[in-house]
Amino acid sequence: MNARGVRRTRTAIAAAAVVALTGLAACGSGEGGPPSLNWYVNPDSGGQERIAKECTAEAGGEYTIKLPRLPRDAPGQREQLIRRLAGNDTSVDIMSLDPPFIPEFAQAGYLAPVPEDVKAQVTKDVVAGALQGSTWKDELVALPFWANTQLLWYRKSVAEQAGLDMSQPVTWDQLIEASQKTQKRLGVQGTRAESLTVWINAMISSAGGQILENPGAEVTQYKLGLDSDAGRRAAEVMQTIARSGVGGPQLATATEDINATEFEGPDGGFMVNWPFVWPRAQGYVKAGTMQKPTLDDYGWAMYPAMTQGEQSRPPYGGINIGISALSKQKDLAFKAGQCIVDEKKQAAYFISDGNPPSAKAAYEDPEVLKAFPMAPLIRESLDKSAPRPQTPYYNEISGGLQRTWQPPSVVDPNTTPKDSQSLITAILRGDALL
Amino acid sequence: MSTLAKQPPQEQAESERANRTARRVKSERARGENRLGWMLAGPAFAVMVLVTGYPILQAFFDSLFSYRLTDPAARRFVGLTNYGVILTDPVWWRAFWVTTLITVVTVLVELVIGFAFALVMLKALRAVRPALRTVILIPYAIITVVSAFAWFFAFNINSGFVNPLIGQPDLNWFAQFSTAVTVIMLSEIWKTTPFISLLILSGLAQVPEDLQEAARVDGATWWQRLWKVTIPNMKAAIMVAVLFRTLDAFRIFDNVFIMTGGSAGTETLSFGAYRQTISRLEIGLGSAYSVLLFLTVVLICVGFIKIFKVDLGAARGER
C-alpha cells in the first residue's frame, strides 16, 4: 500500500468513527425525556396509534408510548413476539395479544402478573368472553381490551325472497337452503388460516361439543372432542356448503375480506363475519363506490345455530393487553395499559375502527349506538360466545385442524373428525409433523 | 465434427509438457501466490465457517433434543428420534416430492428459455444490447416476495386479471394442487430465468469464435454448430448454472408462503422446516428437519459434481 493509499484508509476510518459517534450521540439524547414504552400492536385503522397519543398526553410527561407494528395476521404476530421474548428482548413493554395465544405466553412466563389494584379496575363490568380470554389457570394475565364476535349478516331482500324469518334464530341448514333457492352466496371462511379454526370451533361448540375437553391436563393426556357427534355434525355442515356450491368458487381460499367483498356484490346473500364489515360498507357509501340502498339492505342476526331451537355459540376474538414480564418498566407499562383499556377509549375505538369494546358500559354510549345499531346484538353474542381451545398448544391444534378440514370440499363427516383427532393427538405427542 | 471442438492430440501433449516444466520453475512463486491467496481469502473463509458452520453444528446438536422454545425447562435428549419421526411421516415425503417436481420442471424450463435469452443478448445489435440486457434482467432484480404477490394478485379469483382474460371467472387457481403449483412454478420461472441466462451468457462468450468459423467453413448448419461446437465448449458454464439453480429451486419458500400458505398440498421442504421451527417453535424437530433438508441439498450438489463431472474451476476460466 502506498502513502496515498494509507492516507485514504485513515480518512475512511476517521469518517467511520465520526459516523459511529454521531449515531451514539443520537441514541443518548433520547434519554433526557420521559421514559418511553414500546407497545407492539397489530395493524388496525389507526385507532391504537390515536390511543397511544392520547395516553402519552394524559401521562403528563410520566411516559411516552411508541408503537412498533406487528405482522398482519395473528399467527405472524405470535411468531414475532415469541421470538423476541424467547430471546430475552427487554424492549417489549406492552403487547396487543390475540386471545387464543394468551395461554401459551402465560405458560411460558412471558406475561407479568397483573397487580391486584389494576385487576380490580380492569375486570369491572367486562363481558364474560373477554374476561375468560384474559385468564389462564384462574389468574388474570392480560387486560381485556376489545372483544370481537361474529354475527350472521344477511341481505334483507334475499332473506325475504327466500321466505326466511330472520327475527327468529336460524340454522345453517336453513341458510344453505335459502342460498340455494335464491342462487346467492353463503359466505364462510374456508381458507387454510386461523379463520377456518374460528368457524370449526363455533360449529362444534354450537352443536354442544368441545374441541379440547380437558385443557387443564398434561399435553400428552389431552382428550379431543373432534371424533364426536358434534364434530361429525360440523363436518356435515361444511360438506354440504362445499358440495351445494353456495360457498362459491372462492370457498377454499375465502378469508373474511373475500367474504365481505362478495357480500357487497350482486351475489351476496348471507355471511358470517366480524362487525368490521359495517364501517367498511359505510366507508364505501361515503366514497361513492357502494349505493346507499345496498347498505340499507344489510341485516344482522345471531350466529347460525346447528340445530333448530338450540342456542348457537358464536366465535370470540379481539385483542387483550399483555405486559411483558421482561419489561424493565412494568409499573409504568401497567399504568399505560390501564389508560389504553379505559372504557371511553374502547367506545371511541369501536366507532373509529369497528372493534367492539370489552367494557359493558361502552355499549350504552349513545355515540356507539348511533354508529353501530347492532351493538346490543354484539354484546349479547359476546356473552354467548365460545372461546377457541385455551391451551399453550393452541397453534398445534389449530394447525392440525387447518390441515385436515381443508379444502372444505374434501371434508367428510365419516372420516374428517376421526382423522383430525388422531393427527392432532399424534402432533401433540411429538409423533407427527405439522 | 466432434474433433473440431478439441485441440489436436499432438499439440495437446506438447502444451502439457510445457505446462509441467513451467510448474516446476514457478513452484517458488506459486507457493508465494498460494500463501497470498490464503492471506487474502483466509479471513473471509474464517467468517464463512463461523456464520455457516456454527449454525449447522448447532442445528445438528439441537436436533437430538425434544425442545420447545417456550418451554426450555422441559428440554430432553431423545437421540435420533426426531429423524425417525420425520422420515416416517408422509408430510415429509409429500413435501419432498412436491419440491422435487417444482425443482425439475422450473430448472428445465428455465434452462431452455435462459439459453434462448442468452443467445439473444449475445447476438443483439450493439445499439440495443444494454437496453435488452436490462429488460431481461429486471425480473431477477425484483424481490421474490414482491414478485410472488404480483403473481398472486394476477391469478387471484377476486381481483386478478388472468381469469377475465381467459374467460374463466370461476377458476380458483389456488384451490387445488395442479393449478396452484402451476402458478408457483410460473412465477419462479419468470423470476429466475435471468439468473440462468446470465450465467449461460458468460459461457457463450467463452466459446472461441475461430472454432465457430472453422465449423462454418466446413459447411455446418446453425443447428449443428450449436450442438457440436457451442454447447460442448460451454458445458461447464451450463452445468454450474443448472447446479446453482437446482440448489436454489430446491429451497423454494417465498412463493408458496405468499400464494397458498401451504394449502392445496403445495407445502415444500423449506416451508415444512419453517412450520416446525418458527410456527410450532419445536426447535428439536425443526432442527432435525433442517438438517435433513441440508443433507438433501448436499446430496444433490455431490451428485451433480460426480455424475456430470462439473468442474467449478473451469467455469471461471481457470483451466
Question: In chain A, which residues have their Cβ closer than 8 Å to the Cβ of B280?
Answer: 395-396, 399, 434
Domain membership flag for residue B226:
yes
In this prediction, residue A377 carries a pLDDT of 95
Distances (CA, A) of B180 to A222, A253, A403, A407: 36, 11, 16, 13
Look at B279 and A395 and tell me if their CB atoms are within 8 Å. yes
Matching fold, domains A33-141+318-384 and A149-314+388-428: yes
Question: In chain A, which residues have their Cβ closer than 8 Å to the Cβ of B170?
Answer: 249
Domain harbouring B121, CATH code: 1.10.3720.10
Look at B91 and A82 and tell me if their CB atoms are within 8 Å. no
List all residues 6 or more positions away from A292 whose beta carbon is below 8 Å from its beta carbon.
Answer: A285
| Of A104, A250, A433, Cβ closest to residue B158 | A250
Look at B70 and A82 and tell me if their CB atoms are within 8 Å. yes
Dihedral Cα A382, A141, A354, A160, nearest 10 deg? -20
List all residues 6 or more positions away from A265 whose beta carbon is below 8 Å from its beta carbon.
Answer: none
State how far the Cα of A211 lies from the Cα of A203, in Å rounded to an integer.
10
| Of B89, B263, B281, Cβ closest to residue A192 | B263
- Whether ipTM exceeds 0.90: no
Domain membership flag for residue B148:
yes
For residue A306 the three cell numbers come to: 346447528
- Domain residues for B124? 63-315
Question: In chain B, which residues have their Cβ closer than 8 Å to the Cβ of A193?
Answer: 261
CA B295 from chain center: how many Å? Answer: 16
Interface A-B, measured as beta-carbon pairs within 8 A, has a size of 85
Reference A324, options A125, A127, A37, A122; nearest CA is A37
Q: Sheet of A185-187: strands edge to edge?
A: A185-187, A268-273, A151-155, A298-301
For residue B2 the three cell numbers come to: 466432434
Q: What is A149-314+388-428's CATH topology? A: D-Maltodextrin-Binding Protein; domain 2 (3.40.190)
Residue bearing cell 367474504: A259
Task: Give chain B's residues under pLDDT 70.
Answer: 1-26, 310-319
Question: In chain A, which residues have their Cβ closer than 8 Å to the Cβ of B172?
Answer: 249-253
CA B31 from chain center: how many Å? Answer: 34
Domain membership flag for residue B24:
no
State how far the Cα of A276 lies from the Cα of A44, in Å rounded to an integer.
11
The dihedral built from the CA positions of residue B9, B13, B14 and B18, taken in this order, carries a sign that is: positive
Number of domains chain B contains: 1
State how far the Cα of B306 lies from the Cα of B118, in Å rounded to an integer.
27
State how far the Cα of A59 lies from the Cα of A55, in Å rounded to an integer.
6
Reference A382, options A211, A109, A148; nearest CA is A148
In this prediction, residue B17 carries a pLDDT of 60
In this prediction, residue B11 carries a pLDDT of 57
The dihedral built from the CA positions of residue B70, B74, B78 and B84, taken in this order, carries a sign that is: negative
| Of B69, B280, B289, Cβ closest to residue A396 | B280
Distances (CA, A) of A4 to A7, A13, A34, A350: 5, 14, 49, 67
Look at A82 and B69 and tell me if their CB atoms are within 8 Å. yes
In this prediction, residue A166 carries a pLDDT of 93
Neighbouring C-beta atoms of residue B317, cutoff 10 Å = 11
The dihedral built from the CA positions of residue A271, A273, A275 and A281, taken in this order, carries a sign that is: negative
Domain membership flag for residue B15:
no
Q: Which long-range CB contacts under 8 A does B81-88 form with residues at least 24 apart?
A: B82/B284, B82/B285, B82/B287, B82/B288, B82/B289, B83/B288, B83/B291, B83/B292, B85/A430, B85/A431, B85/A432, B85/A433, B85/B285, B85/B288, B86/A433, B86/B285, B86/B288, B86/B289, B86/B292, B87/B292
CA B120 from chain center: how many Å? Answer: 22
State how far the Cα of B99 lies from the Cα of B268, in Å rounded to an integer.
5
Domain membership flag for residue B54:
no
Average pLDDT taken over every residue of chain A:
90
CA distance A252 to chain B (A): 5
State how far the Cα of A127 lies from the Cα of A20, in Å rounded to an integer.
52
Question: In chain A, which residues have their Cβ closer than 8 Å to the Cβ of B279?
Answer: 75, 79, 395, 399, 434
Q: Which of B64, B68, B177, B279 to mutate to test the interface with A (most CBs of A within 10 A)?
A: B279
Domain residue extents for chain A: 33-141+318-384, 149-314+388-428
Residues composing chain B: 319
In this predicted model, what pLDDT tens digit does every residue of A291-306 receive, in sequence order?
999 999 999 999 999 9
Domain membership flag for residue B25:
no
State how far the Cα of A104 lies from the Cα of A190, in Å rounded to an integer.
26
State how far the Cα of A186 lies from the Cα of A241, in Å rounded to an integer.
8
Look at B158 and A258 and tell me if their CB atoms are within 8 Å. yes
In this predicted model, what pLDDT tens digit does every residue of B7-64 receive, in sequence order?
455 555 565 665 555 555 567 888 888 899 999 999 999 999 899 999 999 999 999 9
CA distance A395 to chain B (A): 7
The dihedral built from the CA positions of residue A403, A407, A410 and A415, taken in this order, carries a sign that is: positive
Domain membership flag for residue B58:
no
CA distance A426 to chain B (A): 10
In this predicted model, what pLDDT tens digit does every residue of B262-280 receive, in sequence order?
888 999 999 999 999 999 9
State how far the Cα of A310 lies from the Cα of B66, in Å rounded to an integer.
45
- pLDDT of chain A along its 434 residues, tens only? 444 444 454 544 444 444 444 444 444 334 568 999 999 999 998 999 999 999 999 999 999 999 999 998 889 999 999 999 999 999 999 999 999 999 999 999 999 999 999 999 999 999 988 999 999 999 999 999 999 999 999 999 999 999 999 999 999 999 999 999 999 999 999 999 999 999 999 999 999 999 999 988 888 899 999 999 999 999 999 999 999 999 999 999 999 999 999 999 999 999 999 999 999 999 999 999 999 999 999 999 999 999 999 999 999 999 999 999 999 999 999 999 999 999 999 999 999 988 999 999 999 999 999 999 999 999 999 999 999 999 999 999 999 999 999 999 999 999 999 999 999 999 998 888 88
CA distance A325 to chain B (A): 14
Pick the CATH number of A33-141+318-384 from 3.40.718.10, 3.40.50.1950, 3.80.10.10, 3.40.190.10: 3.40.190.10
What DSSP state is assigned to residue A126? B
The answer to whether the CB of A165 falls within 8 A of the CB of A338 is: no
For residue A13 the three cell numbers come to: 476510518
Look at A406 and B263 and tell me if their CB atoms are within 8 Å. yes
Domain membership flag for residue B8:
no
Phi, psi for residue A323 in degrees, rounded to 5 = -105, 125
State how far the Cα of A120 lies from the Cα of A69, in Å rounded to an integer.
29
Would you list which residues of chain A are within 8 Å, Cβ to Cβ, of chain B? 75, 79, 82-83, 86, 104, 107-108, 110, 191-193, 249-253, 258, 261-262, 392, 395-396, 399, 402, 406-407, 430-434
